[in-house]
Chains A and B, each alone.
Chain A
Amino acid sequence: EAGVAQSPRYKIIEKRQSVAFWCNPISGHATLYWYQQILGQGPKLLIQFQNNGVVDDSQLPKDRFSAERLKGVDSTLKIQPAKLEDSAVYLCASSLYGTGWYEQYFGPGTRLTVT
């Protein structure tokens, strides 16, 4: 089966610019996650969708970050305006369901550099 797809793989922008990331999860996976991974740290959950509804966005900086999952399939994550501290790898993951046991499948990530 096809894995989780993400684009772009790399992005360099200046601070105060905007950027958008795209994710296409594994077909049939109801749950989609966006993580921020700063170098040398574990992933930090930004937002979790169950189908097209938000389950958890408690750590999403809502003044600058937004995400949507239209039709419960692919998703976009946007940052506007970007700050230097947003430089990180943005990981998208999906799982069959959102409850405990189910394995999360990760995409290759988008490496964002804000200058």
Chain B
Amino acid sequence: AQTVTQSQPEMSVQEAETVTLSCTYDTSENNYYLFWYKQPPSRQMILVIRQEAYKQQNATENRFSVNFQKAAKSFSLKISDSQLGDTAMYFCAFRIMDSNYQLIWGAGTKLIIKP
């Protein structure tokens, strides 16, 4: 069975600092997708960034980037120049490619950006 583990329940950093959220997963599949979703307080869940497992190049979206280590089954999220609006729950999720299998979600990391 596939599992996703986020080992940091809560993190806090000062505004403008860089922060890395960790995520590890377990699967016997070779082709899959990985996602980071953000859930701000009292606001809707939104997609931050996604990565295809067959691509070696790490995905980037503006201040957000990932460090994808397929052999280690690790998918960490780096937020550069953190902003107050980055305060949110961050969820790592995994899904097998080309299937209707459900997204497997981690338990989340609560990130607090301090002014």
A contacts, CB < 8 Å to B = 3-4, 40-45, 48, 50, 55-56, 91, 93, 98-101, 103-104, 106-109
Contacts and interface: CB of A to CB of B under 8 A. Distances in A.
Interface residues of B, number: 25
Contact of A106 (B46, B52, B106): B46
A103 B103 CA distance: 11
Interface string B91-113: 10101111111110111100000
A83 B11 CA distance: 33
B28 interface: no
Contacts of A40: 107-108
B16 interface: no
Nearest to A103: B47
Main secondary structure of the interface of A (DSSP, over half): loop
B32 A45 contact: no
Contacts of A104: 47, 103
Given A3-B44, A108-B44, A100 B105 contact: no
A34 to B, nearest CB: 11
B50 A101 contact: yes
8 contacts: A42-B91, A42-B105, A43-B45, A56-B102, A91-B45, A93-B45, A98-B100, A99-B99
Contacts of B4: 42
Contact of B102 (A48, A50, A107, A109): A48
Which 6 interchain pairs have the tightest Cβ spacing? A42-B105, A106-B45, A45-B102, A100-B97, A103-B47, A100-B33
A103 B61 CA distance: 15
